[in-house]
Amino acid sequence: MLTEAGFTVVAAVDNGPSLRKVLAEERPDVAVVDVRLPPSFTDEGLQAAIQARRDRPGFPVLVLSQYVEQLYARELLADGAGAVGYLLKDRVANTKQFIDAVTSVAQGGTAMDAQVIAKLLTRGDARGRTAELSPREREVLSLIAAGRSNTAIGHQLAISASAVNKHISSIFGKLHLPESEDDNRRVLAVLAYLNR
C-alpha cells in the first residue's frame, strides 16, 4: 500500500529489537510502528518509537494500535515536536486515510485517530485547561489533533478560513499559548487537549 502511494519502504520488521536496530541504522524519513511487538507484546513498538524520537528529535512516527490508549498518545506528543500520529489498526484498511496520516506525519504534522479524540473528549475533567473551550473550539481542536490543516477544518465544519483562524486564536488564548519562535502552538494545544 505504501509503495503504491509512492513511498519507498526501506524495512519491514516484526519485533521490537529489530525495529530499534532498523530505526538506528536505516534512519528512515518516517516510521509506521505497531505499539505491541514481540517478544513482550506490551508496548515494545511504542518504546522503540519514543527512543528513536529521543535520538532524533522530531523524527516522524505513526503508531498503530488495536485499542485506544490515551497514555500512548500522551507519550508520543510529550516532547512537543510534532510529526506524530496515532491510528487504530482498522483505519489502515481505509487506504486514503492511512496514506494521508503517513503523509501528514512525514511532513511534521499530527494525525490522531477520531476514536482517540472522542475518548479524550468524554473524560469529563472540568478542571482541565480545555474546560473553557466552547463546543466549536473543541471541534476545531479535535480536528487539529487529527492533523487537519486550517483549510480542511473550514471545509469539514463549513466555516470560512477567517472563522477557523478566529477559533484557533481563541484556543491559543484560552490555553495560554503565546506566540513563540521556539514552540509549535498547534502541538502544545494538542498536548493540552490530551492531558485534560
Q: What is the pLDDT averaged over residues 159-171?
A: 91
* 99 and 147 fall within a common domain: no
* 102 and 7 fall within a common domain: yes
Amino acid at 30: V
Distance (Å, whole) CA 105 – CA 125: 28
Q: Is 188 domain-assigned?
A: yes
Q: What integer pLDDT is reported at residue 59 of this predicted model?
A: 93
The count of domains in the chain is: 2
* Grid coordinates of 196: 485534560
CATH of residue 128's domain is 1.10.10.10
Could you tell me the pTM of the whole model? 0.65
* 34 and 127 fall within a common domain: no
- Out of 113-117, 119-123, 141-145, give the one with best mean pLDDT: 141-145
* 174 and 193 fall within a common domain: yes
* 12 and 49 fall within a common domain: yes
Q: Is 14 domain-assigned?
A: yes
* 156 and 136 fall within a common domain: yes
> For residue range 40-98, what is the model confidence (pLDDT) as tens digits?
888 888 889 888 988 998 899 999 988 777 677 677 777 667 788 888 888 888 899 89
Query: Whole domain around residue 35: which residue ranges?
Result: 1-112
More confident residue, 125 or 40: 40
Cβ(86)–Cβ(110) below 8 Å: no
Q: Is 181 domain-assigned?
A: yes
Q: Is 55 domain-assigned?
A: yes
Distance (Å, whole) CA 148 – CA 16: 31
For residue 39, say if its preceding peptide bond is cis, omega within 30 degrees of 0.
yes
* 96 and 9 fall within a common domain: yes
Residue 124 has pLDDT above 50, yes or no: no
The mean pLDDT value of the chain amounts to 83
* Grid coordinates of 24: 538506528
Cβ(72)–Cβ(43) below 8 Å: yes
> For residue range 77-88, what is the model confidence (pLDDT) as tens digits?
776 677 888 888
Q: Is 117 domain-assigned?
A: no
Nearest to 58 by CA among 20, 108, 110, 111: 108
Q: Is 134 domain-assigned?
A: yes
Q: Count CB atoms within 10 A of the CB of residue 155.
A: 13
* 40 and 62 fall within a common domain: yes
Nearest to 76 by CA among 66, 62, 88, 65: 62
The residue among 44, 79, 112 that closes a domain is 112
